[in-house]
Structure 1
C-alpha cells in the first residue's frame, strides 16, 4: 500500500475561517434575529414557517453531505424524514415524549435502514443507484401508508409537542424555533468537521477520482456507506423537528416528490457547500410561500426560476454570490 499520509489531496485544510463557514455564521445570525422580527410584525405564524425552514435546511444539509461531497444522488432520502416524524408519533403513543430520546431512536432506526439500503445501493452507480434508492424510499412510504393504527394515508395528529428534559417548553413556538436552530447549528458543526476531516477529504477524493483513491489504498465502498448512514441519521432529526413543528405526521412526508424537493434545495443553494444547502432550503421555501400567495400556479414560476438559476449560475446561489463578490473587487 502506498504511503497515503503524504498524499497532497488529503492534506489538512488551512487554518482559519473559510468563506463558507463565514456565510453559515451570517445565516445563523439572521436566523437568531428572526423571532424578534415576527414579534415586531405581530405575526406569530411566521415562527412556524421559520421552524419549518430550519428543519428542511437540516435535511438539505444532510443530503448535501452525500450528494455534494460523495456524488451520491439519493432519490429516496425523504424516507428518513418519515422515520424521524413517525418516531415522534409512535414513541409518544407509548408515553415516551422526551424529544432527545425521540431523536436518538429516530437516528438509530434511520441509520439501520441506511446501512441496509446503502449496502445494496452502493453496489451500483449512476442511474441505477438513483433508481434503487427511489425504490427503497417508496417501500418505506408504502409501509407507513399501511399503518392504520397511525392514520395510514390520512396521517396522524399529535396531541401535543414533545417534552424537553421533562418540561413542555417546546409547546411555545419561539422556544421550538430556537431549539430547532440550536440543533441545526450543532449538526452543521458536526458536518463541517466531517468534511474537513481526513474522512471528508477521502470522500471528496472518491468523488473526484475513484480509481486513484483505490490505487493509493482506500476502499471507496466503506467511506461512501459511512457517509450514507450519517446522512440518513441526520435527516431523521429533521423529521423529528417537522413532526413537532406541525404536530402532524403523514406518509406524504416521505414520498419521492419530497426527495426531489430536497435535491432541488441542494442544487438551488449550491452543491458541495453545506451553507449553500441551508440557504437553498430557505430560498426554496421562501419562493414557495411568496409565489403561492400570488398564484395557485406557483410551481410553474418556481420551475422557471430554477431553470434560469441553473443556466446562469450552475453553482446555485452560492456561485451567484461568489460571482457578484468577485466583480465588486
Structure 2
C-alpha cells in the first residue's frame, strides 16, 4: 500500500513554531493561580479554568473540522453528554471524576458511531444540517428530561472527587486538573495528527478520491476521527459541569457548537495551536468586553472580521510567523 506523500505534512519549521507557542501558553497558564492570589483577584482562576475547558472542546472539534473538513454543528451535544454524565452518576452516588469521564466518553462514542455513520454518507451543507439535526435531537431529549430539571437544568450537590480525594473542591485544584487534562489532550492530538492516521485524514480533506485511488478509504478514518473528537469533547463537558456545579441543556445547543467554530476561525483552523489560542482568546474577550459594554458582541464581531481579513491563518498563524521571524533574525 502506497504511503502518504510527504507534502501532506506541515513543514517542520511551522510545526516547531506552533509547538513553542503551545508550550508557552501552558507555562503561562500554570502560573495564573499564584499570580491571581498575589494580586487579590481569585476570580481570574475561575475564568482561566473556563478558558481551558473550552480549549479542550475546541481541540476536539479541530480534529474533525480542521484536519478532516467535517463541519459539525452538533458537536456541542458531546459537551452535554459529559455534563449530564456527572449529574446522573452523582445522583447514583458515583462522584469519582475518572468514572464520570469514562461514562461520558462511552455515551458520546456510542452516539458518535451511530450518527457519524449516517452523517458521513453526506457531504457539504447536507453534512452540516444532519449533524445539526442530531445535535438538536440530543438537546431536546434533555430539555424534556424532567427528572433532571428539563429546560431549567439541575444544580449539583458538589464537585466530583478524584481517586477518592476532594481535590476539585478548591478553585486551584480544579484549575490544575483541567490544565493537566488539556496538556494530555493536546499532546495526544498532536501525536495523532502527525501519525499515519493523521496524514490520511488530512489527505481525505484535500482530495478524498485521490486518497482512495492510492488505497485509503476515507470513511473508516473519518468515522474514527469523529468518535475520538466526540469522546474528547465529553471530557470538557465533565469539567464544565464541575466548574459551574450546574448542568443545563444549554450546554449542547447549536449556538454552543457555533461558538466552538468561531474559536477555531479566530485561532486558526487546522492547527491545534489555533484551537488552543482561539478558545483562550475568545473566552477572555467575552469576559473582558462584557465588562466594558453590554454591546460587547459588536466589538467581538469586528475583531473576528479583522482577523479573518488580515490573518487568514488566525491568531496562531500570526504568532507562528512572528516566532519564525525572530528565529531567522
TM-score, with structure 2 as normaliser? 0.95
How far apart are 1:140 and its partner, in Å? Answer: 0.4
- Do 1:76 and 1:137's aligned partners in 2 also have CA atoms closer than 8 Å? yes
How far apart are 1:40 and its partner, in Å? Answer: 1.0
Out of 239, 242, 249, the residue aligned to residue 244 of structure 1 is 242
In the alignment, is residue 166 of structure 1 matched against residue 164 of structure 2?
A: yes
Structure 1 runs (4+) deviating above 3 angstroms are 5-17, 322-329
Shift in CA distance, 168/9, structure 1 to aligned 2, threshold 3 Å: same
How far apart are 1:236 and its partner, in Å? Answer: 0.2
Question: What does residue range 254-265 of structure 1 map to in structure 2 within 5 Å?
Answer: 254-265=252-263
Shift in CA distance, 316/5, structure 1 to aligned 2, threshold 3 Å: closer
In the alignment, is residue 314 of structure 1 matched against residue 312 of structure 2?
A: yes
Shift in CA distance, 276/8, structure 1 to aligned 2, threshold 3 Å: closer
Question: What does residue range 83-232 of structure 1 map to in structure 2 within 5 Å?
Answer: 83-232=81-230
State the match for 2:58 in structure 1.
Answer: 60
Shift in CA distance, 7/327, structure 1 to aligned 2, threshold 3 Å: closer
State the match for 1:26 in structure 2.
Answer: 24
Please identify, of 259-268 and 299-308, the stretch whose mean Cα deviation from structure 2 is larger.
Answer: 299-308
State the match for 1:273 in structure 2.
Answer: 271
Separation in 1 of the partners of 2:2 and 2:186? 28
1:97-121 deviations in whole A, cap 9, x for unaligned?
A: 0000000110111011111110010
Task: Tell me the SS of whatever aligns to 2:3.
Answer: helix
Task: Tell me the SS of whatever aligns to 1:258.
Answer: helix
Separation in 1 of the partners of 2:311 and 2:154? 41
State the match for 2:48 in structure 1.
Answer: 50
- Do 1:63 and 1:231's aligned partners in 2 also have CA atoms closer than 8 Å? yes
State the match for 1:38 in structure 2.
Answer: 36
Separation in 1 of the partners of 2:262 and 2:272? 14
1:85-105 deviations in whole A, cap 9, x for unaligned?
A: 000000000001000000011
Separation in 2 of the partners of 1:15 and 1:319? 12
Separation in 2 of the partners of 1:11 and 1:296? 44
Separation in 2 of the partners of 1:278 and 1:44? 23
How far apart are 1:193 and its partner, in Å? Answer: 1.0
- Do 1:160 and 1:247's aligned partners in 2 also have CA atoms closer than 8 Å? yes
Task: Tell me the SS of whatever aligns to 1:261.
Answer: helix
- Do 1:270 and 1:315's aligned partners in 2 also have CA atoms closer than 8 Å? yes
1:208-239 deviations in whole A, cap 9, x for unaligned?
A: 11111000011101100000000000000000
- Do 1:12 and 1:197's aligned partners in 2 also have CA atoms closer than 8 Å? no
How far apart are 1:169 and its partner, in Å? Answer: 1.6
How far apart are 1:263 and its partner, in Å? Answer: 0.2
Task: Tell me the SS of whatever aligns to 1:18.
Answer: helix
How far apart are 1:12 and its partner, in Å? Answer: 11
Task: Tell me the SS of whatever aligns to 1:271.
Answer: coil
How far apart are 1:9 and its partner, in Å? Answer: 4.7
- Do 2:4 and 2:200's aligned partners in 1 also have CA atoms closer than 8 Å? no
- Do 2:14 and 2:320's aligned partners in 1 also have CA atoms closer than 8 Å? no
Separation in 2 of the partners of 1:13 and 1:196? 11
Shift in CA distance, 286/16, structure 1 to aligned 2, threshold 3 Å: closer
Shift in CA distance, 205/173, structure 1 to aligned 2, threshold 3 Å: same
- Do 1:9 and 1:205's aligned partners in 2 also have CA atoms closer than 8 Å? no
Shift in CA distance, 12/126, structure 1 to aligned 2, threshold 3 Å: closer
Unaligned runs of 5+ residues in structure 1 are none
State the match for 1:298 in structure 2.
Answer: 296
How far apart are 1:288 and its partner, in Å? Answer: 0.4
Separation in 2 of the partners of 1:184 and 1:130? 27
